[in-house]
């Protein structure tokens, strides 16, 4: 019985905590089905204990025992009674799947500590210490490039946030050096995510002391933004000097929801607090969870009817009520490091082969299936012509050839990244750089992110073949009177409304194909099977999807075979909760009200009120509840959420996808295939009208064969589109009778028994989710996912519906948790401080400044045989240190007598575009603000600085010669002035160096090095 009072048959458990996901059985559907993974997260609103965190510490221990017992023994979570939890402590607990892993890690930790002690007196960070000496430079470079791709970063270009931090401090020519270092750090992490990357290792990716500050920034940026040292990995506590200041409490961060976003955020915050350890404070993270279990929309329900002899030891049969599929481990999925690296979970790679059965039980001919799939894909591709076209603002890119070969560029021309990029945008690089330098090849490109997958796609089709001709080429027969030049014309429907739906255009495309081709009723059923698959991907009828934005995340798909976790997906959130130390989760705490500070100035703390009367006072709150809960207004906010946030909540959609889980005594299907499909008849029998197929096409349209992951004969039937809503109000007995009848219709030549055990999910009825996962509804605007993610004062947001690049997915929810953790730590610590100078001039590097503090934790192991570090510089001898001190004292005497060297005059006003920008910025900002308000329907919206710069670049390029001439002439005058100043500076410097030479010679004569005593100076 569910909380909402659903009444099921005796052998049916009504679920209220999960959601699903599917691997496309059609190769051409991959653009759609990568988001089929259902969402992951989901606690509708969590809660807590009466007098704050300390009062609940005991409950955390009780909860730990409950979760341990649940995962090890397969105790049902939401289906369990209170009595079953009380009795768990008296029952023998099986070994957790993490036990062996934890034991190995403990041994590694001990060994690492010993190794660290022997190196605790290491005097300094060493360049190249993390670059294998015997590995060819090209091979090392390719490993670094691959590591960047595996981390969702472009190896050849700065991330937008990197550029924002570095653009005024880094020479544009040094972008290559920075990227080489950053990619090298990522290589360390991806090759062994079981051990955190230390700062010593990160700085060892620099090839010279001059680049140490760059390496330090790259290391901190990667940690803060969750690209390294995330997941179930132990972060050594930073060693700081113990002061005598009184220890103070806080800050307290409360995370609402123990799904993947909440657990991921809390685990990341714990790691960041260890990394930035401060002995004077005791920061804490508390998770409030409304359910009695963790995982949110990941829920692996124990199966009771049979025992399995094929699962690995310690695992019991469990059915996935919610998220089910890992959509490829390659090219950036953060679950790769967690599932395969840190938790070492078993998984089953899915084979993309399936059979589709017609309504009479006969398999569909593969040739016909392929033809109808091409028609479906053609209509879907043509609908893409009406997709919203976003503007991608490029970021600075390094030299690809140098990066691919592992080489750095040490030259400097004094131009910062911002100066160069603004000149590039305006087309004035030729005026900014001497032509001889361009000819010598000291170049610089802008980012062209291809393989990492940008959210922006070129939609301009250079040539469209007529649909009739394309069909005839495939061997299709045309209707009488149809010319090969006839084609589909979807404009009239697509442009009929500014908020047109994908369903309207897809239905129109199918109707036009009916006029071109002699489509049969079987063809119509096949076409609608693919539409049902599309509805499964979006958890909604296609008639609710935005034509211009339904696939706004296109291009961000991961690569590799899809897979399922053997023994239950819930092992992943369990691992995040339990390793390396258990997070403080408070179950049975349903949040009903949040009082927050919209200013974020720290004047007012946040108070979280729970349904049981408990309340928590926190410095910051991260809300990870599903979009459905926000839409349902289950949580009251004080003050009310602003209109721009409510607008995004209301415009985005939150859909439903349900499952019917069937356990049999023996399999009667092809156990070597992971799935098979069923075609469904229209609402009106034998109808050829497209609209009549919508209601039934998603009803048991696909069955998952889950024998490999459960160890039992289990089928999972999917209910997508309108059928998912039908499941919410259809009696259990009726659903089970219908699905069993469908199976008997397909497998006529074998006896299909009644299932031994059945479970039906009903997501919309679950008060903690109110649905399955988000989709882009017809009224949604570009940027709504970003608005969902935007914090309000000390109230932060996470969850799959806040991740515009990977919505409706487990990994998207996890990534949103990392993003929220980064926001929280930035508000506490401020932005990363940049050393000045970021890159010292040649010959002016203070090597002693890069001293190595004693380190703790584990030393990263190389994957192959250890390489002797023959190239590492040995600690400096006392004689060398004395020589350096002698030189420093001499220069101090020189500066005292003739003054320091004259600084080089800054070059100003060389770029005519920047002069133009200064005059036109206010006007352009007003225009961009107005455009932003129209696009977001937010009267208070303001354009970002990058948007204004982009618009100014366009204005400059479109400006006439008369308009540009004054600025070009002024730039030429400034260039002449700068040349005179530079010539004068060179003359003055020559005089200074002549005088300095005389003073140095006199000082050395008076203070010979052989008799010089540093203690006297």
Q: How far apart are CA 817 and CA 806, in angstroms?
A: 13
Q: What is the CA radius of gyration of the chain?
A: 32
Considering only CA atoms, which of 179, 230, 187, 151 is closest in space to residue 452?
Answer: 151
Say which residues have a Cβ less than 8 Å from residue 345's Cβ, sequence separation at least 6. Answer: 97, 339, 565, 566, 567, 571, 572, 575
Q: How far apart are CA 847 and CA 853, in angstroms?
A: 15
Q: CB atoms < 10 A from the CB of 871, how many?
A: 12
Average pLDDT over residues 875-890: 78
Q: Is 777 helix (H, G, I), strand (E, B) or coil?
A: strand
- The pLDDT value given to residue 787: 95
Residue 586, CB-side half-sphere exposure with 13 Å CA sphere? 28
- The pLDDT value given to residue 13: 30
Could you tell me the pLDDT band of residue 115, with boundaries at 50, 70 and 90? very low
* Whether pLDDT at 117 is above 50: no
Could you tell me the pLDDT band of residue 889, with boundaries at 50, 70 and 90? confident
Contact 978, 910 (CB under 8 A): yes
Q: How far apart are CA 649 and CA 646, in angstroms?
A: 5
Average pLDDT over residues 53-72: 42
Phi and psi torsions of 936, nearest 5°? -100, -10
Which position has the higher pLDDT, 484 or 60? 484
* Whether pLDDT at 87 is above 70: no
Average pLDDT over residues 237-257: 71
Look up residue 699 and give its two tokens: 């009803």
Q: Is the fold of 137-225 the same as that of 248-302+320-349+561-653+771-827?
A: no
Which position has the higher pLDDT, 685 or 868? 685
Strands 615-618 and 620-623: unpaired
Percentage of the chain modeled with pLDDT above 90: 48
- The pLDDT value given to residue 935: 78
Tokens 């940027």 locate to 783
Q: Is 387 helix (H, G, I), strand (E, B) or coil?
A: coil
Could you tell me the pLDDT band of residue 65, with boundaries at 50, 70 and 90? very low
Q: How far apart are CA 1015 and CA 1010, in angstroms?
A: 14
- For the chain, the average pLDDT equals 80
Interval 901-933: pLDDT, tens: 888 777 666 677 778 888 888 888 888 888 888
Average pLDDT over residues 268-295: 90
CATH number at 248-302+320-349+561-653+771-827: 3.50.50.60
* Whether pLDDT at 428 is above 80: no
3-state SS of 816-850?
Answer: HHHHHHHHHHHHHHCCCCCCCCCCCCCCCCCHHHC
Considering only CA atoms, which of 789, 822, 826 is closest in space to residue 804?
Answer: 789
Average pLDDT over residues 804-812: 93
Q: How many residues does the chain have?
A: 1017
Tokens 């959509």 locate to 327
Mean pLDDT lowest among 862-866, 933-937, 981-985? 862-866
* Whether pLDDT at 253 is above 60: yes
Q: How far apart are CA 778 and CA 781, in angstroms?
A: 9
What order of strands is seen across the sheet that includes strand 584-586? 584-586, 281-288, 248-256, 620-623, 795-797
Long-range contact pairs involving 669-672 (C-beta distance under 8 Å, separation at least 24)? 669/703, 669/705, 669/715, 669/747, 670/355, 670/705, 671/705, 671/707
3-state SS of 303-351?
Answer: CCCCCCCCCCCCCCCEEECCCCCECCCECCCCHHHHHHHHCCCCEEECC
Domain spans in the chain, listed from the N-terminal domain onward: 137-225, 248-302+320-349+561-653+771-827, 878-1016
Mean pLDDT lowest among 58-62, 297-301, 557-561? 58-62
Look up residue 337 and give its two tokens: 């490091």
Mean pLDDT lowest among 262-266, 286-290, 924-928, 952-956? 952-956
Integer angstrom CA distances of residue 204 from 208, 691, 839, 870: 9, 63, 16, 14
Average pLDDT over residues 717-741: 95
Q: How far apart are CA 898 and CA 996, in angstroms?
A: 7
Q: How far apart are CA 651 and CA 646, in angstroms?
A: 8
* Whether pLDDT at 38 is above 80: no
- The pLDDT value given to residue 430: 63
> DSSP letter at 408?
-
Interval 606-623: pLDDT, tens: 999 999 999 999 999 999
User: How are the residues of the chain apportioned to helix, strand and coil, as percentages rounded to the nearest 5?
Assistant: 40, 10, 45
Could you tell me the pLDDT band of residue 594, with boundaries at 50, 70 and 90? very high
- What b/e readout covers 605-616, taking b as 16+ CB neighbours within 10 angstroms? bbbbbbeeebbb
Interval 359-388: pLDDT, tens: 999 999 888 888 999 999 999 999 988 988
Average pLDDT over residues 587-600: 93
Q: How far apart are CA 61 and CA 338, in angstroms?
A: 25
Which position has the higher pLDDT, 620 or 78? 620
Average pLDDT over residues 298-316: 86
Interval 437-449: pLDDT, tens: 333 333 334 333 3
Q: How far apart are CA 831 and CA 162, in angstroms?
A: 12
- The pLDDT value given to residue 1015: 63
Which position has the higher pLDDT, 659 or 840? 659
Contact 676, 706 (CB under 8 A): no
- The pLDDT value given to residue 875: 63
Torsion-angle region of residue 458: left (phi > 0), alpha (psi -120 to 50) or beta? beta
Look up residue 703 and give its two tokens: 């069955």
Q: How far apart are CA 254 and CA 52, in angstroms?
A: 11
Contact 49, 56 (CB under 8 A): yes
Contact 341, 38 (CB under 8 A): no
Mean pLDDT lowest among 499-503, 780-784, 1001-1005? 1001-1005
- The pLDDT value given to residue 844: 61
Mean pLDDT lowest among 37-41, 179-183, 486-490, 648-652? 37-41
Q: How far apart are CA 730 and CA 726, in angstroms?
A: 6
Do you find a cis peptide bond into 837, omega within 30 degrees of 0? yes
- The pLDDT value given to residue 518: 92
Average pLDDT over residues 844-868: 47
Q: How far apart are CA 302 and CA 567, in angstroms?
A: 10
- The pLDDT value given to residue 726: 95
* Whether pLDDT at 64 is above 60: no
> DSSP letter at 618?
E
Interval 506-553: pLDDT, tens: 999 999 999 999 999 999 999 999 999 999 999 999 999 999 999 888
Could you tell me the pLDDT band of residue 458, with boundaries at 50, 70 and 90? very low
Contact 68, 791 (CB under 8 A): no
- The pLDDT value given to residue 978: 79
Alpha-helix residue ranges (DSSP H) falling in 150-174:
160-166
Could you tell me the pLDDT band of residue 194, with boundaries at 50, 70 and 90? confident
Q: How far apart are CA 566 and CA 310, in angstroms?
A: 11
Say which residues have a Cβ less than 8 Å from residue 586's Cβ, sequence separation at least 6. Answer: 46, 47, 48, 49, 56, 59, 60, 63, 286, 287, 288, 289
Could you tell me the pLDDT band of residue 92, with boundaries at 50, 70 and 90? very low
Q: Which CATH architecture has domain 137-225?
A: Orthogonal Bundle (1.10)
Contact 561, 349 (CB under 8 A): yes
Q: CB atoms < 10 A from the CB of 511, how many?
A: 15
């Amino acid at each position: 019985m569910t909380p909402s009072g659903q009444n099921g048959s005796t052998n049916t458990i009504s679920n209220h905590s999960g959601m699903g996901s599917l691997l496309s059985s059609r190769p051409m559907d991959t653009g759609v089905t990568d988001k089929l993974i259902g969402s992951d997260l989901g606690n509708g609103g969590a809660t807590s204990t009466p007098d704050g965190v300390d009062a609940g510490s005991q409950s955390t221990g009780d909860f730990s025992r409950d979760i341990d017992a649940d995962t090890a023994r397969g105790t049902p979570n939401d289906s369990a009674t209170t009595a079953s939890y009380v009795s768990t402590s008296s029952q023998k607990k099986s070994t957790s799947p993490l036990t062996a892993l934890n034991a190995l890690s403990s041994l590694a930790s001990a060994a690492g500590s010993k190794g660290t002690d022997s190196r605790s007196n290491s005097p300094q960070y060493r360049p190249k210490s993390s670059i294998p000496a015997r590995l060819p430079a090209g091979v090392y470079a390719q490993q670094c490039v691959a590591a960047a791709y595996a981390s969702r970063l472009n190896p050849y270009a700065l991330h937008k946030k990197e550029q924002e931090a570095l653009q005024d401090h880094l020479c544009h020519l040094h972008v290559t050096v920075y990227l080489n270092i950053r990619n090298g750090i990522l290589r360390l992490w991806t090759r062994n995510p079981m051990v955190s990357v230390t700062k010593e290792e990160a700085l060892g990716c620099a090839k010279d002391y001059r680049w140490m500050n760059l390496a330090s920034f790259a290391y901190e940026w990667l940690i803060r933004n969750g690209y390294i040292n995330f997941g179930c990995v132990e972060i050594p506590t930073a060693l700081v000097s113990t002061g005598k200041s009184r220890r103070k409490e806080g800050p307290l961060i409360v995370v609402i929801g123990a799904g993947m976003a909440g657990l991921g955020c809390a685990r990341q915050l714990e790691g960041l607090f260890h990394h930035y350890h401060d002995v004077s404070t005791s920061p804490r993270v508390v998770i409030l969870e409304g359910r009695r279990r963790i995982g949110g929309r990941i829920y692996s329900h124990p199966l009771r009817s049979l025992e399995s002899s094929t699962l690995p030891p310690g695992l019991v049969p469990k059915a996935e009520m919610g998220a089910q599929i890992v959509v490829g481990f390659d090219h950036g999925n953060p679950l790769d490091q967690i599932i395969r690296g840190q938790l070492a979970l078993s998984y089953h790679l899915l084979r993309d082969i399936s059979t589709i059965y017609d309504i009479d039980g006969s398999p569909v001919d593969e040739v016909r299936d392929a033809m109808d799939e091409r028609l479906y894909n053609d209509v879907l591709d043509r609908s893409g012509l009406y997709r919203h076209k976003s503007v991608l603002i490029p970021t600075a890119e390094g030299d690809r050839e140098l990066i691919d070969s592992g080489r750095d560029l040490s030259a400097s021309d004094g131009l910062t990244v911002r100066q160069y990029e603004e000149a590039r945008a305006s087309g004035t690089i030729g005026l900014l750089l001497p032509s001889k330098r361009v000819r010598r090849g000291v170049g610089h490109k802008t980012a062209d992110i291809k393989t990492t997958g940008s959210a922006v796609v070129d939609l301009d089709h250079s040539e469209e073949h007529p649909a009739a001709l394309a069909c005839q080429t495939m061997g299709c027969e045309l209707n009488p009177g149809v010319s090969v030049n006839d084609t589909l014309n979807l404009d009239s429907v697509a442009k009929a409304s500014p908020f047109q739906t994908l369903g309207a255009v897809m239905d129109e495309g199918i109707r036009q194909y009916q006029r071109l081709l002699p489509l049969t009723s079987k063809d119509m059923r096949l076409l609608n099977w693919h539409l049902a698959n599309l509805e499964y991907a979006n958890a909604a009828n296609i008639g609710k999807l935005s034509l211009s934005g339904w696939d706004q995340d296109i291009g961000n798909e991961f690569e590799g075979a899809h897979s399922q976790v053997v023994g239950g997906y819930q092992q992943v959130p369990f691992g995040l909760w339990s390793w390396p130390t258990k997070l403080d989760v408070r179950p049975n705490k349903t949040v009903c009200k949040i009082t927050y500070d919209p200013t974020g100035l720290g004047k007012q703390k946040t108070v979280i009120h729970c349904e049981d009367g408990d309340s928590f006072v926190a410095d910051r709150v991260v809300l990870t509840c599903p979009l459905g809960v926000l839409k349902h207004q289950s949580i009251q906010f004080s003050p009310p959420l602003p209109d721009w946030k409510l607008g995004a909540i209301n415009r985005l959609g939150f859909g439903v996808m349900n499952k019917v889980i069937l356990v049999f005594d023996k399999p009667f299907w092809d156990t070597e295939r992971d799935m098979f499909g069923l075609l469904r008849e229209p609402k009106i029998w034998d109808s050829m009208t497209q609209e009549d197929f919508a209601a039934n096409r998603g009803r048991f349209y696909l069955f998952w064969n889950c024998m490999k992951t459960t160890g039992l004969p289990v089928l999972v039937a999917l209910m997508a589109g309108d059928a998912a809503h039908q499941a919410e109000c259809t009696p259990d007995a009726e659903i089970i009778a219908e699905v069993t009848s469908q199976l008997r219709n397909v497998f006529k030549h074998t006896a299909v028994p009644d299932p031994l055990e059945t479970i039906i999910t009903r997501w919309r009825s679950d008060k903690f989710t109110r649905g399955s996962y988000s989709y882009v509804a017809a009224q949604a605007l570009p940027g709504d996912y970003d608005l969902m993610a935007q914090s309000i004062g000390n109230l932060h947001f996470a969850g799959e519906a806040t991740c515009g690049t990977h919505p409706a997915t487990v990994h998207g929810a996890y990534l949103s948790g990392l993003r929220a953790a980064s926001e929280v730590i930035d508000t506490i610590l401020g932005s990363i401080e940049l050393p000045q100078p970021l890159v010292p001039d040649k010959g002016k590097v203070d090597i002693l400044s890069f001293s190595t503090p004693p380190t703790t934790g584990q030393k990263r192991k190389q994957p192959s045989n250890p390489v002797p570090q023959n190239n590492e510089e040995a600690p400096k001898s006392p004689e060398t240190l004395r020589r350096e001190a002698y030189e420093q004292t001499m220069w101090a005497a020189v500066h005292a007598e003739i003054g320091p060297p004259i600084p080089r005059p800054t070059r100003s006003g060389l770029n005519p575009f920047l002069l133009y920008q200064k005059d036109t910025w206010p006007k352009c900002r007003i225009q961009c603000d107005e455009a932003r308000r129209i696009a977001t329907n937010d009267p208070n919206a303001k354009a970002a600085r990058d948007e204004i710069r982009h618009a100014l670049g366009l204005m400059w390029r479109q400006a006439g010669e008369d308009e540009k001439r004054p600025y070009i002439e002024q730039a030429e005058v400034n260039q002449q002035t700068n040349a005179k100043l530079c010539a004068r500076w060179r003359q003055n410097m020559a005089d200074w160096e002549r005088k300095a030479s005389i003073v140095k010679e006199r000082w050395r004569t008076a203070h010979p090095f052989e008799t010089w005593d540093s203690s006297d100076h």
